[in-house]
Chains A and B, each alone.
Chain A
Amino acid sequence: MNIVVAIKHVPSTADELELNDDGTNLDFDEVDFVLNEFDEHAIEQAVLVKEAAGGEVTVVGVDVIEELDGVLHTALAKGADKAAKIVGDIEPPINSHTHARWLADAIGEMGPDLVLTGVQAVDDLDGQIGPMLAAHLDMPYVGVVTGVSASNGSVTVHKEYPGGVMAEFEVSLPAVIGVQAAEKPPRYAPISKIRQMAKSAEIEEIDADEDFEYEGCELRQMAKPVSAGHAEMLEGDAEEVAEKIIALLEDRGLL
């Protein structure tokens, strides 16, 4: 089975985020990029399907800040077979329509049986890459999936609804699946394997269609929430704290 995983490099939230001067987006010179967490699950799920049913896993993403190689090497160390990056004169931010267009162009050429991608990403909280990929590639789509197993010509996917209801879908292939969580937690990639990949692996480069432009909506402003107040810690032993609470409640006319 030819499995393709579409991934996205997104700003890391490990550091405090800095905004650019005109407040229209992040200051991309001041943020580190990491692999979108849901895409980590998509990679894990793809490798699990490959291990169970055989096949080949290709990981592809847009090289937004020219640092995608590390992510691709990690995916290869985890069991992916091939890696590709979409390159060009690219500057962040890339909106999800452009992202989906470029990914679809690349993936279409690969002739996939199954396309997996993270159900959403922290950079835009759109959740649109999967559905748009499916539309571009003319394939069915199921999102928010928590497990994929392959059988002849189709895959069975699981999806969890609110209220503790589980659903099972049979999806005919080829198809696009938006992964919420892999069946198992993403595996650890030993650094020495990643370094081996960095030395030996070849990453295919695919040119982005830089003429594509999407003008549907525009991010007007990005700002940090202004803190409305702060918590006050009540010090002292239980008795004292209790008295303070009562005083506070009385003060506000609640007692």
Chain B
Amino acid sequence: MLTTTERILFVLMALILGGLTAILFYGIYKIIRRGRPAPPRENVIPSLIGAAIDVLLQRPMFRSRPVLSVFHAFIFFGFSYYFLVNVTDVLEGFVPGFELIYGGQGPLEPLPDWPINLFNLIADILSVLTLLGMIVFLVRRFITHDKRLEFNEGVLLNPKVQQGWIRYDSLIVGVFILLHVGSRFLGQALRLAENGRPDPFMPFASAASFLFRGLSEGAFTFGIHLTWWLALGLILLFLPYFVRSKHIHLMVAPLNLGLGKPGPRGELDPATPPGSDDDAEPGAKYVQDLAWPRLMDAYACIMCNRCNDVCPAHSQGLVLSPAAVEVNKRWLFNEHFADFAYRGNLPDMPLTQHVISPEAVWACTTCYACVRVCPVGNEPMADIVDIRRRMIIEGEEMDSGIQTALESLAKNGNWFGKGSRARARWTKGLEFKVKDVTKEEAEYLWFVGDTASFDARVIPITQTVANVFQQAGVDFGILGRAERNSGNDVRRVGEEGLFEQLAEDNAAAFGKAQFKKIVTTDPHSLNALRNEYGPFVEENWEVLHYTNLLLELFESGKLSVSKPLSHYRVTYHDPCYLGRYNGEFSAPRKLLEILGVEFQEMPRNCENSYCCGAGGGQIWLGITPEGERPAENRIREALDALAPSSNGAAADDKQLLFVVTCPKDVIMYTDAVKTTGNEGKIEVRDMIQLVEEAISG
């Protein structure tokens, strides 16, 4: 179909632009390799296959925004299919007489019709769906102005981004897709119009062909050539831009998902690269101090801001945006591409000035919601922890509350400023003596944690746990004054050295104690003990949450409900470090079922649970930032979920409860019920309080 001149032009363009693109791709590879080593990826091939399947099924997309994800799926399937379509289009251009319409023309004639008809049908439908999806996305961005595509005021953004370059980029990519797919679709319609009859396997192109009936021969030839060039020539022209544009996500995202972090979610990457020498600086000051997967994240990011939607800090209106971390890194690479990629002449640009402001760094609760929701497998939280690590080691100014907490943790092993002798003082209110596992053997070592040991609001709950364990005949003991803070939040604040010290102290105490399993009420301690104590302890003890143990006690008949709690309508809050981090969703829900309460989920539950705002050291902050605090937002969500009208329950006089299974949640939500003025409407209860009520009725 193409003239000789056109053929030569196309081949030349393919060679020149393709070559240029290859050089640029190599540049991206070099940029990613500028990052520090990361823990080695294991089972890369199965992991990449798994990622490919996930991408083909669009699974990561449907973690949020289901409707938009459907339109994305249209574009995704269409665009993927177009890799095949483009091949046949090139053949149509270069092989005389080669045409797909009517079950195949020219050299295709001898082949059976049905595979070609099927191919045509899918191409026809997907073309229309892709155009539809793309139009929806453009309308959403440029006409209805979806607020979710914007950043909070005060978020540090690259100047280019401030000038609107994400919008321009989106427009260019959008128009490219419309032209590419639209032209190919119209080209087929023109061929059908030229032949004067529709193809039943190309229903949409056939319908469109009626628009072109009766054009002159010359007009058909011109139209077919023009649409061919707009479909295929455009790809070549677009390729070098593609490397700069966020559209490259379609190649990097599957790779990023496949090369994701090995090991449990709750285990942070080490502060210095594996295998580095002793004087390697922990954490990151410059973009090249980050591990290579963090640099790849920037290329995988499509700037959809789904992470902002679920970020408790961003939702509060603070200056932290996990999306901006990726976006800024990406624009930094775009701006200094040659320096990063080829010259190795890395610009002196501290992350805290070009990627994320120090204020934003200290606003992260490390709740993992951004990482969990990201459809392309990015981990902006890991950047933040690494930046904190370097800020701590370089003695950058930090919040006075966090400093006080760290100093107390270093001195006393707890953040309450109390001596270690006071740690077991809560047991004085019990009618029995709690074993000291460093002195006598017990089946369970109960790792109590700071909040449960020292906070006056939580101590009665801790005592109730002890009483219920005792009543159920659980053989348990505590470390007493030998216990230290687990270091979970210390590590997430970035104080790696203090985390190590605390872990070593606890490991030494474990070494002196005699026990079989560990149980704790504190999800933060559970996370550290279960996922991060490997290098410090010799034995790999099973670490249970008290809800697991309680469930076991009910199932084995050691506890039983004597008074079902049907007078309560309750909702349950999944603590980040129990649920999202450690996958423990079912035990608390089963317990609530056993207890006989009326249970209602909140819209954000399980993996999608919303952080209370205390984690990652936020509970230590000396200042309270402006805006609706995450815990307040959550209490309102709970009240909506529990309202009789919203869940079909009849209006009755059931008492509404907000059930928690984390000592920090007791504090955060009791406070939030007060500050939102909802005292008397809903009450915060720890699971153990319900258990106690039900078994002693």
Name A residues whose Cβ lies closer than 8 Å to a Cβ of B: 12, 14-16, 32, 34, 185, 187-188, 190-195
Contact = CB atoms under 8 A, between A and B. Distances in A.
Given A14-B411, A34-B411, A190 B419 contact: no
Interface in B371-410: 392-393, 395, 398, 400, 403, 406-408, 410
Contact of B395 (A12, A32, A187): A187
Given A14-B419, A15-B421, A192 B393 contact: yes
Contact of A195 (B411, B417, B497): B497
A193 B498 CA distance: 10
Interface of B: 282, 392-393, 395, 398, 400, 403, 406-408, 410-412, 417-422, 495-498, 500-501
Nearest to A31: B419
B497 A191 contact: yes
Contacts of A194: 497
Contact of A32 (B398, B419, B495): B419
Contacts of A185: 400, 403
A14 B418 contact: yes
B282 A192 contact: yes
Given A191-B497, A192-B500, A15 B395 contact: no
Given A15-B422, A34-B411, A187-B395, A192 B417 contact: no
A190 B395 contact: yes
Contacts of B500: 191-192
Chain B binding surface SS class: helix
Contact of B419 (A12, A192, A193): A12
A188 B407 contact: yes
A34 B407 CA distance: 12
Nearest 9 A/B pairs, CB to CB: A192-B497, A15-B419, A191-B497, A191-B498, A14-B419, A188-B403, A15-B421, A190-B393, A190-B392
Contacts of A187: 395
16 contacts: A14-B419, A15-B421, A15-B422, A185-B403, A188-B398, A190-B392, A190-B393, A190-B395, A190-B495, A190-B497, A190-B498, A191-B410, A191-B495, A191-B500, A193-B497, A195-B501
A12 B407 CA distance: 13
Contacts of A12: 411, 419
B392 A15 contact: no
A214 B617 CA distance: 49
B395 A14 contact: no
B544 to A, nearest CB: 29
A15 B419 CA distance: 5
Contacts of B418: 14-15
A193 B392 CA distance: 10
Contacts of B421: 15-16
Given A188-B407, A194-B497, 9 more contacts: A15-B418, A15-B419, A187-B395, A188-B406, A190-B395, A191-B410, A191-B497, A192-B393, A195-B497
Contact of A14 (B398, B412, B498): B412
Contact of B417 (A14, A32, A191, A193): A14
Nearest to A74: B410
B104 to A, nearest CB: 70
B497 A188 contact: no
Contacts of B422: 14-16
B406 A193 contact: no
Contacts of B395: 187-188, 190
Contacts of A34: 411
Nearest to B501: A191
A236 to B, nearest CB: 16
A185 B240 CA distance: 53
Which of the listed residues A32, A191, A193, A195 has the most CB atoms from chain B within 10 Å of its own CB? A191
A187 B394 CA distance: 11
B525 to A, nearest CB: 19
A15 B413 CA distance: 13
Contacts of B417: 14
Contacts of A14: 408, 411-412, 417-419, 422
A16 B420 CA distance: 11
A185 B407 CA distance: 13
A192 B394 CA distance: 11
Contacts of A195: 497, 501
A188 B500 CA distance: 17
Which of the listed residues B495, B497, B500 has the most CB atoms from chain A within 10 Å of its own CB? B497
B187 to A, nearest CB: 64
A192 B496 contact: yes
Contacts of B392: 188, 190
Nearest to A12: B419
A191 B413 CA distance: 13
A187 B395 CA distance: 7
Contacts of A32: 419
A12 B395 CA distance: 25
Nearest to B417: A14
A32 B282 CA distance: 31
A66 to B, nearest CB: 18
B475 to A, nearest CB: 30
Contacts of B407: 188
A65 to B, nearest CB: 15
B563 to A, nearest CB: 28
Contacts of B406: 188
A29 B134 CA distance: 75
A233 to B, nearest CB: 14
Nearest to B411: A34
A12 B403 CA distance: 19
A44 to B, nearest CB: 12
A52 to B, nearest CB: 16
Contacts of B410: 191
Contacts of A191: 410, 495, 497-498, 500-501
Which of the listed residues B411, B495, B501 has the most CB atoms from chain A within 10 Å of its own CB? B411
A16 B407 CA distance: 19
A44 B501 CA distance: 24
Contacts of B400: 185
Which of the listed residues A16, A192, A193 has the most CB atoms from chain B within 10 Å of its own CB? A192
A18 to B, nearest CB: 9
A91 to B, nearest CB: 22
A78 B635 CA distance: 43
A185 B622 CA distance: 14
Contacts of A193: 393, 497
Nearest to B410: A191
A43 to B, nearest CB: 14
A194 B392 CA distance: 13
A193 B501 CA distance: 12
A15 B418 CA distance: 6
Nearest to A13: B419
A16 B496 CA distance: 30
Nearest to A35: B411
A192 B497 CA distance: 4
A15 B495 CA distance: 25
A34 B419 CA distance: 11
Nearest to A78: B395
A12 B422 CA distance: 13
B455 to A, nearest CB: 16
B556 to A, nearest CB: 41
A192 B403 CA distance: 15
Contacts of B497: 190-195
B420 to A, nearest CB: 8
A198 to B, nearest CB: 11
